[in-house]
Structure 1
Amino acid sequence: MPKSFYFIKPISLEHSFTSVVAMATYANDNPVWLEEAVNSVLAQDYRDFVFVIVIDGPIPDAIEQVLQKALLNDQRIVLAKSEGNVGLSRCMNFVMDWCLPYQPEYFFRMDADDISLPTRMSTQIAFLEQHEDVDVLGSALIEINEVGKQVGARTLPSGNAKLRRNMSTRCPINHPTVVLRFSALEQGFRYRNDLKNTQDYFLWIELMEAGFKFHNLKQPLLKFRRVNDFYKRRGITKSINEFKARIFAMRALKRMRLRYLVYACAVLVMRCLPPPMVKLAYKFDRYVLNR
């Protein structure tokens, strides 16, 4: 394990669990939204999991209070901390490596500003138990604003063949809705530590190239926080990384096509436009997806 991580509240090696939920939180998280996110995980109707929360660097007292309150109320929480802010990839990879001796079956992702619906985990696990060929499972999501009001929705293609076709033009999995079979992670697949964004897109490409099967549920199982500055936060670095991911997907999945190259270049240009135009393009993209 990286030396920069240490446990504030661990569990013993004798402990066993079927699933792990992994979340990272850092200084700029909204403590109210964080508490809603944590509570939504603890309120799941499925109970056989540990909830690993990684504190990514120094945090303010308000976030510390949310975490300490959760620790007092639920023994399934494992709290770890990074000595400095290292980013989501390193935090999630730390959790994956920590899980190896316990050999859980499922690895769930969760973000610190979203809300999992109460049946999220049980619904996804039930699907995986009935479809042993599926390794990575996402779902549709509901988009909410700062006060929790629904402002949109996002439904992505479902079957593996469709997702493979879409991988060269977009990330076809809603990252905070994902559950993976831990057997894929046991083979050494991890997020790229050098990426501060789009790390999920690259991981999905690598897993798909290796032959792992993907699926999306049409049922929304998570409320995704889409705040006012959502369209401003997709800076040039993220746009370039998305462009690189699309090129990587075309090569890795042997789907190099002129139309995909044109699309990748067009999206890169669009990302550099003023936020109102990006917002308009995003809404059009959601409309096309949901159709």
Structure 2
Amino acid sequence: MRHYPTLLNAIFIGDRVLDIGHALGCYPRALIGGQVPLTDKDFPFIRHLECILCVMGPKRALLMKAYESMGIERVVVEHSDCTPDPASIVDELRASGLTVDVVDFTQGMGRAFEDAGRIFGRPDEAARAARRHERDMETMQRPVAPLGRRVVTLLGLTNPQRNEHYLLLETPGGHLDTRILTPLGCENAGALLMDMAEEVVMEGIQRVSSPDRLDRLDEAAPDAIVLTGDPLVGLVALQEAVARKPSLARSVPALAAHAVYALPHCCSALPASLPRIWTEWRNALSPQAAPCTQRQQ
């Protein structure tokens, strides 16, 4: 039996729960997340309450208030290896009278799909999704011919309420390298754009506070530039860099070849989506791919 997308009278705590819910067509009325960019644009029908760190810290009352004022039936919490682990507040929430279910991501995606299928009432669909995910992960782990690309990846974030934009750099050695670039035989060329005075946070991401750091793109010499999150933020930054230093348009291989791609952000909070993300990156960076701006999905 085919199920259609369903809006659950629930609050999800954790981006992984939203990711696996999306795979099963089950969505919450409200979300407490924060690791995945653009969830407000991808899921405009979901009320975004606060970030996980805030709710697990000084803003716990916000969750309680939303649970009561929205008439929520249950809270679905992510149990993961993150620090802090959202599931660490489950006992407290239950003691406060909330109905709480837990999706366990610490025992592999098979267990996570099983939990999600039971909680969302879609056990058969979850079992099929788990088998499909396992096959896709096996495909990812097969050796591939190295693509040999030098890649700079820029993450754009937007705060529409404040009309603020933030540019970040995926630094070498982070989650993106582990899951995408290294397995595909690509090199993260972002090292020469790093500012050692800035902190590296969020799985190897560093904020680009000074826009003139992109003036060093000719030193990094990427032959592909990938824009994740809000790609417009990265495009504007590239345009401004070329305006300041017109020689970049010729000296940076990626700009000279128009090899600029808008692709999905890759982070550990999207485990169910990883095979799709990996496939899109592989297709864009493959030699047979015509240089163009890829449509982000």
Same fold (TM over 0.5): no
Which is bigger in relative contact order (C-alpha 8 A, separation at least 6)?
A: 1
- TM-score if structure 2 supplies the norm length? 0.30
Larger radius of gyration: 2
